[in-house]
Amino acid sequence: MTRRADSIEVRYGWVILAVSLAIGTIAMAAPNILFVSLKDIASDFEWPRAGPSLAFSLLMMGSGVGGIAMGLWMDRRSVIEPVLFGSVMICLGAIVASHAGARWDFYVANGLLIGAFGEAAMIAPLIANATRWFDRRRGLAVAIIASGQGVAGAIWPPVIRLLNDFVGWRETYLYFGFFALATLVPLALFLKPKPPIAPAEAIQGSGMGEFTVLGYSPGTVQALLCLAVVGCCTAMAMPIVHLISHATDIGFSRSTGASMLSVLFAASFFSRIGFGLLADRIGAVRSMLIASGAQAVMLLAFAFVTTEVGLYLAAFMFGIGFAGIMPNYALMIRHWFPGNQIGWRVATTYLFAAIGMALGGWLGGALHDATGTYMHAFLAGFGFNAMNFALIGHLCLRQTRLRLSHLPV
């Protein structure tokens, strides 16, 4: 591996990015099965919409809680170990879900096996690992890995819809489980090399209490980030989880709804790369504000637009907005906190992101069951998004004031 004298970046870092993107894309098929098959799963178990929505919520919660353990595992050992473990667990969880005979079987498969033991290893650890391979292009690197969600959303809904129509949701889970095992384990082996920078490198001191962030204690800023991420992710989950069902409710086919979701995620892939480059230029906090504002506007569009063209446009624009949000949390943490705390701090933030996604996924289904429409769900999402915008705006103003005062940020 070779590097420039003034940078930690080496050529193998791009291999790490490509492999991490592929792993994330494959792993994200699991929640997509829930999105596409939501109505069929609810019908098979004779549940209201909130039933399979709760399975998604448990998956998100599990991935968040498990992510902290996976982040600590990565900080103390290496990223390859949790990723290999997670690969096997995703396979096992998909197989258990395919044979679920009752509500609790299905919930355990998604929440514990796929979520806490599987997806947890495929999100925060991979992103945190990327920040240790890049410095000059860190925003782009994080964006590339995070765009796996967009790639997965563009690829998987049509594939899953076809499988679901021909063989049913149970066999779809089964086929995915074996496919995940056959692909994720070999890919994980490419993650074995150590990053070219010591994980213990600190930016403002190595101790938990030896530095401040934006004039606050580290715990205060971490808490603000966690609260902010709950707001944006609760809002984010509303259309992601329920767009297909919303489209079919207002008269469009499931294939049309799946295509809308694919457009949303396809837009997010390119947007995420763009926001990564933007963050490298203007900073993660300002980049986050732009993305949060765009997401809020599109939630209002989903609440009131009912035409096919309008929904496609709303899906496209929502994909552009929401894609720029999550990568910026990792960038802010990497900029503000010591290097030896990145894994668990990113994972902690992503735990609260999972709480938000879980809340939004469940709340969207519950509000639909209570009102018969998704309009109120999208309006509730707008309210949560406003909370996120206010909190990130406060951090942005705080950072700007400190810079103008020539104080450390």
Quickly list DSSP for 128-154.
Answer: HHHHTT-STTHHHHHHHHHTHHHHHHH
Structure tokens at 299: 């939630």
Q: What is the pLDDT of residue 404?
A: 61
Give the sign of the dihedral formed by CA 319, CA 325, CA 328, CA 329.
Answer: negative
CATH superfamily for domain 12-404: MFS general substrate transporter like domains (1.20.1250.20)
pLDDT per residue over 141-187, tens digit each?
A: 888 888 777 788 778 888 998 998 888 889 999 999 999 999 999 99
Packing angle, helices 138-146 and 326-336, rounded to 10: 140
For the cut 90, the answer to whether the pLDDT of residue 114 exceeds it is yes
Q: How much is the average pLDDT of 125-134? A: 85
Residue 203: the pLDDT is 44
The SS3 call for residue 3 is strand
Per-residue pLDDT at 119 exceeds 60: yes
Place of tokens 């802010």: 332
Percent of residues, the chain, with pLDDT higher than 70: 93
Q: Is 399 exposed, middle or buried (CB count within 10 Å of its CB: 0-12, 13-18, 19+)? A: buried
Written as one letter, the residue type at 340 is N
Residue 329 is encoded by which pair of tokens?
């949390």
Read off φ and ψ for residue 122, nearest 5 degrees. Answer: -105, 0
Highest mean pLDDT among 128-132, 209-213, 313-317: 313-317
Query: Residue 125: CB partners within 8 Å, gap ≥ 6?
Result: 67, 70, 71, 73, 74, 79, 82, 83, 343, 347
| Cα-based angle 267, 300, 143 (whole degrees, multiple of 5) | 30
Q: Give the pLDDT mean for 360-388.
A: 90
**Which pLDDT value is given to residue 391?**
95
Nearest-5° angle of CA 179, CA 267, CA 313?
125
Residues with Cβ within 8 Å of 53's Cβ and at least 6 positions away in sequence, in order, are 38, 241, 242, 361, 362, 364, 365, 366
Taking residues 274-293, what's their average pLDDT?
A: 90
- CA quadruple 382, 385, 389, 392: dihedral, nearest 10: 180
Q: Which of 223-232, 310-319, 352-361 has the lowest mean pLDDT?
A: 352-361
pLDDT at 206: 45
Position 200 confidence tier, pLDDT thresholds 50, 70, 90: very low
User: 246-264 burial string, b = 16+ CB within 10 Å, else e?
Assistant: bbbbeebebbbbbbbbbbb
Two tokens, residue 68: 């902290």
Residue type, 352: F
| Mean pLDDT for all residues in the chain | 85
Average pLDDT over residues 207-224: 79
Q: Is the pLDDT of residue 207 over 60?
A: no
406, pLDDT greater than 70: no
pLDDT at position 268? 83
Q: In this predicted structure, what is the pLDDT of residue 267?
A: 86
Closest by alpha carbon to 30, among 173, 175, 167, 217? 173
Q: What is the mean pLDDT of residues 389-404?
A: 86
- Look at residue 196 and tell me whether its pLDDT is greater than 70: yes
Encode 84-101: b = buried (16+ Cβ within 10 Å), e = exposed: bbbbbbbbbbbbbbbebe
pLDDT at 202: 42
- pLDDT interval class at 351 (50, 70, 90): confident
Q: Give Cα separations from 301 to 167, 324, 329, 363, 377 (angstroms).
A: 35, 19, 26, 19, 12
Q: Round to whole Å and give the CA distance between 320 and 322.
A: 6
Strand partners, 10: 3
Residue 331 above 80 pLDDT? yes
What pLDDT score was predicted for residue 60?
A: 79
Of how many residues is the chain composed?
A: 409
Both tokens of residue 211?
A: 């530095």
Q: Give the model's confidence band at 293: pLDDT under 50 very low, under 70 low, under 90 confident, else very high.
A: very high
Is the predicted pLDDT of residue 204 greater than 60, yes or no? no
Structure tokens at 355: 């709480």
Q: What per-residue confidence (pLDDT) applies to 7? A: 72
Inter-residue contact 392 to 292 (CB < 8 Å): yes
Averaged pLDDT, 257-286: 86
